[in-house]
Structure 1
Amino acid sequence: MTKAAEENQTPSTQELPGSTDVGTPPPGAPVSVFPGESGTPPASRSGRLPRVESLTGLRWWAAFFVFCHHMTNLAPLPIFDFLKYGTSGVTFFFVLSGFVLTWSAQKGTKIRTFYRRRFARIFPLYFLTLVAAFFVFYRADPPAGMSWIKPISVTVMVLSLFLVHGWSNNPTILYGGNPAGWTLSVEAFFYAYFPFVWRATQRLKTTGGLILCVAVLVAGGAYRLALFHYKDVVPILPQPILHSVAFLFGIGLAISLRSGWKPRIPVWFAFLVTGGGLYILWYSGAHPANFPGAVTMGLCQKEILTFLYGFLILAVASRDTRGGRSLLRSKPMVALGQWSYAFYLVHATILYAIKEHHGVAGPIGWSNLTWYAGVLVLSIIASWLLFKFVEHPLERKLRGPR
């Protein structure tokens, strides 16, 4: 997507994070994964699965990747074309959401309890940031030359409030309200059907989980190719259905790992594969004539990203189940991971508020890194305050008795 296209679609916060466990996490368990995903189960001695706390730290880096992409709208860097893949952070969060919900699911949890916990996890902070975003992205009389500021629309705000705007492919609606909210609209759909998928897949073991992973990737890729070749016949599906490929892939991975599969994939190798895969996707898009299969890779990009991020999540989670050391479990990384839901929801609002009053930082150049540092610090401080005084206390209150 060109930069001009992004500007016309409103701040492209089409890749932001939110979820909690299906079961009951122990006190002090990390409260996040997909901005919103709450902790992991206690140790296996208690009859539950071991924690995979590194995923909390890992999701901070996914949120940071999204942040780097959005910052190109304020302070472009020479690697602007590669940073557009920061949008893929949302695919990471969707895979992670399916993985964590399945990993922490417990038999006997009532569906209404699951729904109440999901609401408590994501909605209070979402509502607050939606109100804040309204004053940045909407005006009765939008100023000229600021395409991200739109006329006030009661319809769009109501759809955003009830998290159903993600079902529209109209950019004005899809990215309405808080532009990050479209991903939560997609997540709300995942939450709606997860309890039923969980019940239907409880008998699956390692092989069944991996077959599920392959099946959803094949189905997703086949749809993308069919849409390209038969666009007059194949309907364009809404975002919640399209992104279900990533969510179900995460479920399949968690099923396989829950069943005792512990692949010994070096985490450094998983990062190398993921980074190399992103580079190949970028290179094939930038130089299609020099890369055989570039068109097919471009069409099936979401499915490729789903595999890459799933591979990374699998390697990190598998290491945690074996008790290996991990910098992702360090206190600073876990703290940043816990704040990442708030960071995801608030950073674009801060960024575009600055852009309105200051304008673009300047021409493309590495000197713009100072802007990255400044906005990053502001966003982290805001996310810490929101987590400490809004997100965490309200979640505890609304979740009800354990």
Structure 2
Amino acid sequence: MHAESTLAQPTGRLDSLTGLRWWAAFAVFMYHMHVFAPLPGPITTVLLNGYLGVTFFFVLSGFVLTWSSRPNVPVSTFYWRRFARIWPAHMVALIIAIPVFYSLLPIPEGSFLKPFDLGILLLSVVVIQAWWSNPMILFSGNPAAWTLTCEAFFYALHPWISRVLVPMAKRGALLLGAGAVLYAFAYRATVLLFPETGLAAVPVPVQRLPEFVLGMALAWAMRSGWRPRIHPIVGIGALAAVVGLLLFSGRLLGEGPVTGILRGLTNEFFTIACGIAIVALASHALRGKHLWFASTWQVRLGEWSFAFYLVHATFIYLALRIFGYQPASWTNLLWFVAVFVVDLVAAWALHTFVERTMEKRMRRWKDNRDKARGRVRIASV
């Protein structure tokens, strides 16, 4: 009964998390820009950690889906809503990406271009490309879309993980989250220390599942009444601290096996930091406190962030294909601005005319079918 009453309670919007999601997408953009127009000096080392924005996406995805879940939503409706959320925009972004990343002509040595292969591209259409470790498949189609394979896997499991999670009180949920993190550390440490075991060949979606489960567990603990008083500065500081550890571990500990293992565990440390940041911002917002990340412009950009993520690499590599590699220079900041503006305009168009429009139409179609079959329409998931 406790679980049912908790699910039935309304949950408010957490706009600060939407705003923070934008910065995660922007970090990934900055990471990919170095392949085209790197900046000089240590700043490049900082930007190369932008890939960790994907880890934030995975933890946040588990949190948001569990935070917004409602009782009595049919599993088929849940799946359809997730499909409507990601697939139309993904397909348009894929069509745009193909002429940028593929060629029918002989490919020069060292080029990022790939030979056109319809069979491999079809794997991207059904978002299963990340089940293969071969880079030609893993990063096929729109290279950024490998994360959608992970998300599709997470979505498939979410209703069934929820059946285990929802009966738990907040303590059980926190223990499940801690267990997911410990598993992630154990797996990564085993791969680093005993590479001969072949565990590195575990498919990427399975490797990244603990991040999603952590997000789910934290959301359910908070829905069950957990309200830790963590200031948002501490949450954001945790994210920065992990990057700082990665950057300065060599100076602090020297270059050796311990440093190598710490660097190899960066994603796992960052997963914990993401959990701290999400809980800090959510708790602060639920206590009625104003957050900078919840400003109108950041929330708007956060709403565009999925579309921005889908198109950002395509236009970066299009610039690389047209203008060639730019040597490291501070003047490359002009390229950062130019490519960013193009990406942002494309993201706005993709979000406005495809992502949001198609999602509404597809959801309405399924809701009407559910109503016709006598199912109760429940609030959004």
TM-score (norm 2): 0.90
Distance 1:308 1:208 in 2: 20
Distance 1:291 1:277 in 2: 19
Moved more, 222-231 or 166-175: 222-231
Q: Give the deviation of 1:142 after TM superposition.
A: 4.3
Residues 343-400 of structure 1: per-residue CA shift (max 9 Å, x gap): 0000111111111110123x21222111111111111111111111111111100112
Distance 2:257 2:28 in 1: 29
Residues 196-254 of structure 1: per-residue CA shift (max 9 Å, x gap): 11122111122112111211111111111222233223432110000001101111111
Distance 1:238 1:287 in 2: 34
Residues 54-111 of structure 1: per-residue CA shift (max 9 Å, x gap): 1111100000000000001111013212211101111000000000011111111110
SS at match of 2:166: coil
SS at match of 1:180: helix
> Is 2:104 aligned against 1:155?
no
Distance 2:31 2:25 in 1: 10
Distance 1:156 1:282 in 2: 37
- The letter for the 1-side match of 2:184 is G
Counterpart in the other structure of 1:230: 194
Moved more, 108-117 or 281-290: 281-290
Distance 1:173 1:286 in 2: 37
Counterpart in the other structure of 2:316: 351
Q: Give the deviation of 1:293 after TM superposition.
A: 3.3
Q: Give the deviation of 1:326 after TM superposition.
A: 1.4
Counterpart in the other structure of 1:28: none
Aligned-residue identity in percent: 40
> Is 2:139 aligned against 1:175?
yes
- The letter for the 2-side match of 1:261 is W
Q: In proportion to residue count, which structure has more helix? A: 2
Distance 1:184 1:287 in 2: 37
Contact kept, 8 Å, 1:226 with 1:234, in 2: the verdict is: no
Counterpart in the other structure of 1:10: none
Distance 1:227 1:331 in 2: 43
> Is 2:172 aligned against 1:208?
yes
- The letter for the 2-side match of 1:73 is V
> Is 2:53 aligned against 1:89?
yes
When residues 278 and 132 of structure 1 are mapped into structure 2, their CA distance, relative to the original with a 3 A threshold, is same
When residues 292 and 139 of structure 1 are mapped into structure 2, their CA distance, relative to the original with a 3 A threshold, is closer
- The letter for the 2-side match of 1:270 is G
Distance 1:64 1:396 in 2: 26
Contact kept, 8 Å, 1:285 with 1:298, in 2: the verdict is: no
Give the alignment of 1:37-76 within 5 angstroms.
47-76=9-38
Distance 2:77 2:250 in 1: 45
The CA RMSD over aligned residues, in Å, is 1.8
Distance 1:114 1:80 in 2: 41
When residues 285 and 174 of structure 1 are mapped into structure 2, their CA distance, relative to the original with a 3 A threshold, is farther
Contact kept, 8 Å, 2:107 with 2:115, in 1: the verdict is: no
Structure 2 gaps, min length 5: 1-5, 368-376
Distance 1:73 1:128 in 2: 24
SS at match of 1:232: helix
Q: Give the deviation of 1:47 after TM superposition.
A: 3.2
Distance 2:163 2:71 in 1: 9
Give the alignment of 1:132-281 within 5 angstroms.
132-145=96-109, 147-235=111-199, 236-281=201-246
When residues 315 and 142 of structure 1 are mapped into structure 2, their CA distance, relative to the original with a 3 A threshold, is farther
How many residue pairs get aligned? The number is 357
> Is 2:243 aligned against 1:304?
no
Residues 2-33 of structure 1: per-residue CA shift (max 9 Å, x gap): xxxxxxxxxxxxxxxxxxxxxxxxxxxxxxxx
Residues 262-317 of structure 1: per-residue CA shift (max 9 Å, x gap): 11111122212221221111222677626883222122222111001111111111
- The letter for the 2-side match of 1:90 is V
TM-score (norm 1): 0.85
Counterpart in the other structure of 1:367: 331
Distance 2:123 2:247 in 1: 34
Larger RCO (CA under 8 A, 6+ residues apart)? 2
Contact kept, 8 Å, 2:165 with 2:217, in 1: the verdict is: no
Moved more, 96-105 or 256-265: 256-265
Distance 2:67 2:130 in 1: 26
Distance 1:286 1:375 in 2: 34
Distance 2:338 2:251 in 1: 30
Distance 1:344 1:318 in 2: 27
Residues 122-175 of structure 1: per-residue CA shift (max 9 Å, x gap): 000100111111010000114425521110111210111111111011111000
Contact kept, 8 Å, 2:242 with 2:266, in 1: the verdict is: no
Contact kept, 8 Å, 1:216 with 1:245, in 2: the verdict is: yes
Distance 1:278 1:56 in 2: 22
When residues 160 and 285 of structure 1 are mapped into structure 2, their CA distance, relative to the original with a 3 A threshold, is farther
Distance 1:135 1:355 in 2: 13
- The letter for the 1-side match of 2:69 is A
Counterpart in the other structure of 1:381: 345
Distance 2:163 2:38 in 1: 47
Counterpart in the other structure of 1:14: none
Distance 1:169 1:370 in 2: 35
Q: Which of 89, 105, 114 is 2:69 aligned to?
A: 105
